[in-house]
């Protein structure tokens, strides 16, 4: 379980996050939605310690991560899998080497076990046969999927995905959403996903946090979302006429 207690973050005099509190439970996929620039990525980076919060704290199982020393943080980080918005693949390594890297670094598995694990993960993201390619030789959507494979290869307890399906076609996008949801439930992972994708919101959102200009503006489940009475949220989610119509029918 991850808990945010009143966290705030500014860069210089620019307040990016203001007083955000939320709880993310294991076995549930928590989504953070919000317009571009609302602070989703910054929030995620604060949660894993790439940015230090200015006030408040991030609690992993009631332990204050923000106050931990480097070794205590490392212990938690070994249980974290993260997909970056820009993928952050190691560009000097092949797809396979990228995914196998955490296993090489932190486990004593045999070569065969590692290979099997990597192939299993690549298969789950629909990337069979791309093992020997370099990141520069694959498409943006494929990179995203390699990033996901790398994030899940160590069976993380906490999974962070920054826009896992931006740049993917709707079909692959659904495959990835399903994958995230499945492993979350299967291994009881605490999953935190930033997204713009309304399909994902409706499909896999067990808990949804809507951010607006660095503040928590709304939270609830995807069911609540359909009937939510919040003008900003409505405009954000049901932005097109088509969706507005669809909603009307749903509510009826």
Ligand X SMILES: Nc1ncnc2c1ncn2[C@@H]1O[C@H](COP(=O)(O)OP(=O)(O)OP(=O)(O)O)[C@@H](O)[C@H]1O
In this structure, are residues 80 and 156 in contact, taking their beta carbons and an 8 Å threshold?
A: yes
What dihedral angle (degrees, nearest 10) is formed by the CA atoms of 216, 222, 227, 232?
30
Q: What are the Cα distances from residue 86, in Å, to 3, 81, 83, 220, 237?
A: 26, 15, 8, 28, 24
Q: How far is the CB of 106 from Mg ion (least distance, A)?
A: 27
- Give dist(CA 66, CA 60) in Å, integer: 10
- Reported as half-sphere exposure (CB side, CA atoms, 13 A), residue 164 has a value of 36
- Give dist(CA 231, CA 228) in Å, integer: 9
The partner in contact with residue 113, picked from other proteins, Mg ion, ligand X, none with C-beta cut-offs of 5 to 8 angstroms by kind, is none
| Closer residue to other proteins (CB): 84 or 236 | 84
DSSP state of 237: H
Q: Find the binder of ligand X among 29, 30, 41, 191 (CB under 6 A).
A: 41
The partner in contact with residue 86, picked from Mg ion, other proteins, ligand X, none with C-beta cut-offs of 5 to 8 angstroms by kind, is other proteins
Q: Is 37 in the site for ligand X (CB under 6 A)?
A: yes
Q: How far is the CB of 12 from ligand X (least distance, A)?
A: 7
Q: Is 34 in the site for ligand X (CB under 6 A)?
A: yes
The partner in contact with residue 120, picked from Mg ion, ligand X, other proteins, none with C-beta cut-offs of 5 to 8 angstroms by kind, is none
Q: Is 164 in the site for ligand X (CB under 6 A)?
A: no
| Closer residue to ligand X (CB): 12 or 71 | 12
The partner in contact with residue 11, picked from other proteins, ligand X, Mg ion, none with C-beta cut-offs of 5 to 8 angstroms by kind, is ligand X
Torsion sign, CA atoms 117, 118, 122, 123: negative
In this structure, are residues 59 and 223 in contact, taking their beta carbons and an 8 Å threshold?
A: no
Q: Residue 21: what are its φ and ψ, rounded to 5°?
A: -125, 140
Q: Find the binder of ligand X among 2, 4, 7, 16 (CB under 6 A).
A: 16
Q: Is 38 in the site for ligand X (CB under 6 A)?
A: yes
Q: Is 29 in the site for ligand X (CB under 6 A)?
A: no
The partner in contact with residue 124, picked from Mg ion, other proteins, ligand X, none with C-beta cut-offs of 5 to 8 angstroms by kind, is none
Chain residues in the site for Mg ion (CB under 5 A): 40-41, 85
The partner in contact with residue 37, picked from Mg ion, other proteins, ligand X, none with C-beta cut-offs of 5 to 8 angstroms by kind, is ligand X
**Count of positions (residues) in the chain:** 252
- Give dist(CA 216, CA 8) in Å, integer: 11
**Sites of contact with ligand X (CB under 6 A):** 11, 16, 34, 36-42, 85
């Amino acid at each position: 379980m991850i808990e945010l207690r009143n966290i705030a973050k500014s860069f210089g005099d620019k307040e990016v996050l203001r007083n955000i509190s939320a709880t993310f439970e294991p076995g549930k996929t928590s989504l953070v939605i919000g317009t571009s620039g609302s602070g989703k990525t910054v929030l995620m980076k604060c949660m894993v310690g790439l940015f230090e919060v200015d006030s408040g704290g991030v609690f992993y199982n009631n332990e204050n991560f923000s106050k931990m020393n480097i070794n205590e943080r490392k212990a938690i980080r070994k249980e974290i899998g993260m997909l970056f918005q820009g993928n952050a693949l190691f560009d000097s390594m092949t797809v396979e080497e990228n995914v196998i890297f955490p296993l090489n670094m932190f486990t004593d598995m045999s070569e065969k076990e590692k290979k099997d694990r990597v192939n299993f993960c690549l298969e789950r993201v629909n990337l069979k046969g791309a093992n020997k390619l370099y990141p520069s030789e694959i498409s943006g959507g494929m990179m995203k999927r390699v990033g996901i494979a790398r994030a899940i290869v160590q069976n993380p307890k906490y999974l962070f995905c920054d826009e896992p399906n931006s740049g993917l076609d709707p079909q692959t996008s659904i495959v990835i959403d399903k994958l995230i949801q499945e492993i979350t439930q299967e291994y009881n992972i605490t999953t935190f996903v930033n997204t713009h994708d309304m399909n994902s919101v409706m499909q896999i959102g067990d808990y949804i946090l809507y951010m607006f200009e660095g503040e928590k503006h709304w939270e609830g489940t995807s069911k609540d979302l359909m009937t939510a009475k919040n003008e900003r949220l409505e405009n954000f989610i049901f932005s097109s006429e088509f969706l507005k119509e669809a909603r009307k029918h749903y509510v009826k």
